[in-house]
């Protein structure tokens, strides 16, 4: 895998992929989802103990279990292009990004 890429003007570009979101810190604000063009993460409901109940589909979410709060979950990490947009809008700094040259295939 190439360790860096080029932008249109020939500058080097190092993609930094989103690999994880800390569910203890995430407030489920949805900002990262809104700026991501790749559907890498989705809002999920969790119960009091932190167990994931299911994905929030924006309608009348009906979970098996009592919803405590919502968090963002990286459920399609392979779609990420490492643009970094999600990191710039996160108010809680709870995302982990890994540079392409540090990713083990």
Q: Interface with ligand SF4 by CB under 6 A: which range of 6-14, 28-36, 47-55, 60-68?
A: 28-36
CA nearest 46: which of 30, 28, 70, 64?
A: 70
The nearest distance, CB 34 to ligand SF4, in angstroms, is: 9
14 neighbors 26 (Cβ within 8 angstroms): no
- 32 touches ligand SF4 by CB under 6 A: yes
97 neighbors 19 (Cβ within 8 angstroms): yes
CA nearest 7: which of 76, 78, 82?
A: 82
Q: Which is nearer to ligand SF4, 92 or 102 (CB)?
A: 92
Query: Would you call 18 helix, strand, or coil by DSSP?
Result: strand
Residue list 35-54, contact with ligand SF4 (CB under 6 A): 35-36, 38, 40
Q: Which spans of this chain sit near ligand SF4 (rule: CB under 6 A)? A: 18, 21, 26-32, 35-36, 38, 40, 72, 80-86, 89-92, 94-95
């Amino acid at each position: 895998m190439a360790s860096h890429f080029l932008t249109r003007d020939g500058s080097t570009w190092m993609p930094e992929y989103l690999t994880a979101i800390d569910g203890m810190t995430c407030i489920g604000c949805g900002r990262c989802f809104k700026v991501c063009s790749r559907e890498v993460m989705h809002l999920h409901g969790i119960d009091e103990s932190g167990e994931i109940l299911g994905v929030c589909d924006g309608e009348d979410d009906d979970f098996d279990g009592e919803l405590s709060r919502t968090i963002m979950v990286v459920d399609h990490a392979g779609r990420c292009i490492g643009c970094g947009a999600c990191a710039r809008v996160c108010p809680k700094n709870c995302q982990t990004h890994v540079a392409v040259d540090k990713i083990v295939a």
